[in-house]
């Protein structure tokens, strides 16, 4: 199984600023998913990007995927205090087992 590695481990920004988080992985993938975890809660799925897609949008979220570099990024535009959470990527490997492996995540703090 393959684990994504999020970078940075922690990020602190002011409300209204953009937040960018990165994810790197090692082997070819079918798709890659991003999840958010608010403090004390379970993970919530944000977006899935397939290996043949380069960019995907969902509201204030923009995800990019570069399969040649084996990396993905999650951009949150015009951040809000409510975006404060940990963000995880989960690459879905080709030919791998049927399980996602989550990294340690990026802890985002948006200061009001």
Partner 1 sequence: DAGVIQSPRHEVTEMGQEVTLRCKPISGHDYLFWYRQTMMRGLELLIYFNNNVPIDDSGMPEDRFSAKMPNASFSTLKIQPSEPRDSAVYFCASSLLARTDTQYFGPGTRLTVL
For partner 1, the closer of residues 54 and 99 by Cβ is: 99
Contact pattern for partner 1 over residues 21 through 60, marking x by CB under 8 A:
---------xx-x-x----xxxxxx--x------------
Strands 29-37 and 19-24: unpaired
105 binds partner 1 (CB under 8 A): yes
Whole-number minimum distance, CB 112 to partner 1, in Å? 26
Please tell me the distance from the alpha carbon of residue 94 to that of residue 72, in angstroms, as a whole number: 16
Please tell me the distance from the alpha carbon of residue 102 to that of residue 108, in angstroms, as a whole number: 17
**Whose structure tokens read 């995927």?**
65
For partner 1, the closer of residues 103 and 108 by Cβ is: 103
Find out whether the peptide bond into 8 is cis, omega within 30 degrees of 0. Answer: yes
| List of residues contacting partner 1 (CB under 8 A) | 30-31, 33, 35, 40-45, 48, 88, 92, 96-105
């Amino acid at each position: 199984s393959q684990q994504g590695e999020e970078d940075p481990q922690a990020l602190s920004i002011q409300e209204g600023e953009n937040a960018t988080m990165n994810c790197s992985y090692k082997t070819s993938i079918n798709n890659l998913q991003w999840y958010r975890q608010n403090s004390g809660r379970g993970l919530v799925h944000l977006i899935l990007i397939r290996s043949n897609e380069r960019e995907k949008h969902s509201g204030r979220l923009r995800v990019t995927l570069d399969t040649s570099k084996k990396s993905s990024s999650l951009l949150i535009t015009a951040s809000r205090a409510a975006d404060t959470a940990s963000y995880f990527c989960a690459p879905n490997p080709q030919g791998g087992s049927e399980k996602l492996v989550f990294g340690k995540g990026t802890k985002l703090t948006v200061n009001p």
